[in-house]
């Protein structure tokens, strides 16, 4: 046989063999890459009651830290994130004020004392009902509802524990995440009473509120992009938040 033809035939056989191997080889599905065009709406419900006065500065700073964390490009693709912030208390009746509404995280105007100051009592169930209603009106595909409080329900008039739980159950059924932060507070009976799992509740020392809210922003981004299926606190988060110290101070 002609040497040139022999070389050509050998090369052709190798190509065909490689193709056969490739054709019959098992195909392993790759995990979906985080979406760069992911969208999220975060709803922050901030307790403005009188007992928040000693930690108000830290609470305000932590809300700003959350907004900055959502807008950051560190740690993954950018998320198209909007933030709605509402504060609540009970003074001459239930008070629920939307301080920022559907604000792009990259255009966040820092929260200050000029926006809200502590006063009144804690109508937590009423406030939960209102913040869920806002989210349901907006109808985002993905949402994180963040509830920061330092005390227990004591003055709701519109909602009961049962109806507040029903509101949050509707939110959870849509795949939205609900997170409770106890600001120098570790009694989560109210949170658990409205259907919260312990993995989504965390007590936070006042000096760690900004760090914890920044961590929450990163978790929110992961949930938005699909890099994480949910938003939950882990042991590292709890250690950084000094949760055990808060429990000791509160006798829990």
120 within domain boundaries: yes
Is 17 contained in some domain?
A: no
Strands (E), the chain: 39-47, 80-90, 94-104, 143-149, 177-183, 201-204
Distance CA(56)–CA(119), nearest Å, equals 11
Provide the pLDDT for residue 192: 95
Q: What is the mean pLDDT of the segment spanning 152-171?
A: 97
Q: Where are the beta strands (DSSP E) in 53-173?
A: 80-90, 94-104, 143-149
Question: Which residues are paired to 122 by β-bridges?
Answer: none
Q: How far apart are CA 184 and CA 246, in angstroms?
A: 6
**Residue 24 structure tokens:** 């019959």
Percentage of the residues of the chain whose pLDDT score is greater than 70: 85
pLDDT at 183 over 90: yes
Residue 95 has pLDDT above 50, yes or no: yes
In a domain, 184, yes or no: yes
Which of 19-33, 88-102, 152-166, 235-249 shows the lowest per-residue confidence on average (mean pLDDT)? 19-33
Structural domains of the chain, count: 1
The pTM for the full model equals 0.85
In a domain, 34, yes or no: no
| pLDDT tens column, 47-86 | 999 999 999 999 999 999 999 999 987 766 789 999 999 9
pLDDT score recorded for residue 75: 65
Residue-level pLDDT at 252: 82
Domain that holds residue 88: 39-249
Q: What is the pLDDT of residue 17?
A: 46
Domain-embedded: residue 226: yes
Which pLDDT does position 36 carry in this prediction? 55
How far is residue 95's CA from residue 155's CA, in Å, rounded to a whole number?
Answer: 11
Could you tell me the pLDDT band of residue 16, with boundaries at 50, 70 and 90? very low
Which CATH number belongs to the domain containing residue 148 in this structure? 3.40.50.410
pLDDT interval class at 121 (50, 70, 90): very high
Q: What is the pLDDT of residue 73?
A: 75
Lowest mean pLDDT among 64-78, 118-132, 150-164, 175-189: 64-78
Residue 21 lies in a domain: no
Calculate helix-pair angle for 56-71, 209-225, nearest 10 degrees.
Answer: 30
Asked whether residue 202 is domain-assigned, the answer is: yes
Are the beta carbons of 182 and 203 closer than 8 angstroms?
yes
Res. 9 pLDDT band, cuts 50 70 90: very low
**Residue 4 belongs to a domain:** no
Mean residue pLDDT of the chain comes to 89
| pLDDT over 50 (residue 11) | no
Instruction: Reduce the DSSP state of residue 118 to 3 states and report it.
Output: coil
């Amino acid at each position: 046989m002609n040497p040139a033809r022999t070389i050509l035939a050998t090369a052709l056989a190798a190509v065909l063999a490689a193709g056969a191997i490739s054709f019959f080889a098992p195909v392993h599905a790759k995990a979906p890459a985080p979406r760069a065009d992911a969208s999220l709406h975060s709803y922050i419900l901030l307790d403005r009651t009188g007992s928040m006065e000693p930690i108000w500065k830290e609470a305000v700073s932590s809300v700003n830290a959350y907004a900055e964390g959502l807008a950051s490009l560190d740690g993954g693709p950018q998320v198209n994130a909007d933030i709605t912030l509402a504060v609540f208390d009970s003074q001459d009746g239930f008070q629920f004020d939307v301080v920022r509404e559907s604000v792009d995280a990259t255009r966040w105007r820092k929260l200050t004392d000029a926006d809200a100051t502590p006063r009144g009592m804690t109508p937590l169930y009423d406030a939960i009902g209102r913040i869920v209603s806002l989210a349901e009106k907006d109808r985002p595909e993905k949402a994180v509802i963040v509830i920061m409080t330092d005390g227990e329900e004591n003055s709701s008039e519109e909602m009961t524990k049962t109806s507040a739980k029903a509101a949050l159950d509707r939110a959870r059924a849509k795949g939205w995440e609900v997170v409770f932060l106890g600001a120098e507070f570790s009694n989560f009976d109210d949170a658990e009473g409205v259907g919260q799992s312990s993995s989504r509740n965390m007590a936070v020392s006042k000096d760690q509120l900004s760090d914890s809210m920044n961590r929450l922003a990163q978790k929110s981004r992961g949930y938005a992009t699909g890099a994480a299926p949910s938003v939950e606190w882990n042991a590292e988060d709890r250690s950084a938040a000094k949760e055990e110290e808060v429990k000791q101070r509160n006798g829990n």
